Amino acid sequence: MTPPDPYDAWKGRYEEAEDTLGADTVGALAATLDRAPAATGVAPLLAHWLCFRPRAPQSELGPDGHPRRGGFLPPVPLPRRMWAGGALTFSRPLRTGEPVRRRSVVADVREREGRGGPLVFVAVDHELRQGGALVLTERQDLVYRAAEGAAPPSGAASGTPRERPPEETPASGTWRRSLVPDPVLLFRYSALTFNGHRIHYDRAYAQREEGYPGLVVQGPLTATLLLDLYARQRPGAHVTGFRFRGLRPAFDGRELTLHATPTAAGASLHAADDRGLTVMSAEVDAV
C-alpha cells in the first residue's frame, strides 16, 4: 500500500493579501539599479516583488533568518531553502500608490532524491489584481535541501531539477553589462524586499553554516538585473512574459556579466559568473 503523501494537505492551499507599492519604494529600487526614477506612476517590471513582504515577528524567524516553516507554505523539514526560478505573464502595468490584491495558491509539492540528498520542490502560483483587473500571474519554484555537506557543487547549488554543464555555457549576448555585486548592493536589495535570509548579508553564516565562499547574490536580484538589461536596450518594448531559472549561485566580489540576445519572440538572456559559467538563464516575450 502506497503511504500517504505528507504534503497533500498543502496542495491547493491559498491565501489572499492586499498591499500598496509606494513611489518612494520604486524610487529606492531605481537607485539600487543605477536607474533614474520614473515619474509615470507605473512600476517597473518585477517591482511587485517589493510588495507583500514577509512580516513574521522576530521571535518566529528560524536560524537562517527565514520565517519558520508551516502556515501557508508546507513545513518542509529540510533546512536550506532557495528560490529556484519562475515564470510570469504580464497583463497590464502595476501602478504605484494604488492597492493591489494577491491570491496565492500552493500548486504542487514534490519530493525527489538529488545527487546531494533529498530535495523538496514547492510550486506557488500568484495572481495580482488592481481595481479588479488582472495585472500579472506568476509561478514561483522553491526548493528545499538538506544541510549535510554544506553548499552543493556549482550547478546543484540552486537546487534546480536541471543543471547546465559548464561546457553548455551560452555564447556572449548581443547586449552585455558587467558589474561586481558588493555587500551594499545585496544589503539594499534585501532591505527592499525585507528578506532576512542570512546568506545575503552575514558572511560568517554563509561560509561557516552553509558552506558558500561568500555572500550569495539573491536570485530575484539577478533576474531583475537581466530584465533591466533588456529594458535598457528596448525601452519601448511591451514585455508580456518572463521566465528564469537559477543554475548556480553568484557571489559578492566576483564579476557578474549579463547577456541578452534579441529573438523573434523577445530575447534570450543569461547571467555568467567570473568563470564564464551560467548562473541564471531567462527568456523575455515582448511585442
* Residue 246 grid cell: 537559477
Which residue type sits at 141?
Answer: D
pLDDT confidence of residue 47: 97
pLDDT confidence of residue 2: 63
| Weakest mean pLDDT among 28-32, 68-72, 170-174 | 68-72
Which residues are paired to 262 by β-bridges?
A: 267
- CATH architecture of the domain 12-286 equals Roll (3.10)
10 Å Cβ neighbour count for 118? 15
Which residues are paired to 134 by β-bridges?
A: 129
pLDDT confidence of residue 98: 97
CA 195 – CA 63 distance, rounded (Å):
14
Q: Once rounded to an integer, what is the mean pLDDT over residues 267-277?
A: 96
- Per-residue confidence at 89, pLDDT binned at 50, 70, 90? very high
Residue-wise pLDDT tens digits, 45-80? 999 999 999 888 888 888 888 887 667 888 888 888
Residue-wise pLDDT tens digits, 106-161? 999 999 888 878 999 999 999 999 999 999 999 999 999 887 544 544 443 333 33
CA 270 – CA 260 distance, rounded (Å):
7
Q: Tell me which of 78 and 286 has the higher pLDDT.
A: 286
Domain-by-domain residue ranges, the chain? Answer: 12-286
Which position has the grid cell 539594499? 188
- Per-residue confidence at 102, pLDDT binned at 50, 70, 90? very high
Q: Tell me which of 151 and 17 has the higher pLDDT.
A: 17
Per-chain mean pLDDT for the chain:
89
Q: Once rounded to an integer, what is the mean pLDDT over residues 172-200?
A: 96
Nearest CA among 88, 92, 101 for reference residue 42: 92
pLDDT confidence of residue 116: 78
Helix (H, G, I), strand (E, B) or coil at 224: helix
Here the contacts of 125-129 (C-beta below 8 Å, separation 24 or greater) are 126/102, 127/102, 127/103, 128/48, 128/94, 128/100, 128/101, 128/102, 129/100, 129/101, 129/102, 129/103
* pTM across the whole model: 0.90
Helices (H), the chain: 23-32, 183-193, 203-208, 219-233
pLDDT confidence of residue 164: 41
CA 179 – CA 185 distance, rounded (Å):
11
Measured in whole angstroms, how far is the alpha carbon of residue 276 from the centre of its chain?
21
Q: Tell me which of 287 and 54 has the higher pLDDT.
A: 287
- Per-residue confidence at 1, pLDDT binned at 50, 70, 90? low
Q: Once rounded to an integer, what is the mean pLDDT over residues 251-263?
A: 98
Is there a contact between 88 and 241 (Cβ–Cβ < 8 Å)?
yes
The Cα-based distances of 49 to 21, 142, 154, 191, 236 in angstroms read 10, 15, 26, 12, 22
